[in-house]
Structure 1
Amino acid sequence: MTLPPDADAPEEIRWEGRFITAKTRGRWEFVGRARGIKLR
C-alpha cells in the first residue's frame, strides 16, 4: 500500500469555534476538539 502524495502535507486550521476546530491536510478535511477539551 502506498500513501497518497498529500499524506505529509502540513495541517491547516480552517476555522476554530468554541468546541471544535476544522482542519485540512492536503485534500482531507477533518475536525478535532478545540482548546484541549478532553472526554471525561
Structure 2
Amino acid sequence: HPYREYYLIVEGKGAIQVEDRIVSLSKEMLLMVDPYEKHK
C-alpha cells in the first residue's frame, strides 16, 4: 500500500520482521514502516 504505518508500543516488548531484518520493540517505542515494506 502507498502509505506509512506507525506502531506505538504502549506496554510490553516483542519483535517484528520488516523486510529481512528483525526490529526489537519495547514500551514507549514508535516504529514506522515505509510504503511497500514487507512486515509481519
Shared fold (TM-score greater than 0.5)? Answer: no
Larger Rg: 1
Structure 2-normalised TM-score? 0.32
Q: Higher strand proportion, which one? A: 2
Structure 1-normalised TM-score? 0.32
**Higher RCO structure, 1 or 2 (CA under 8 Å, sep 6+):** 2
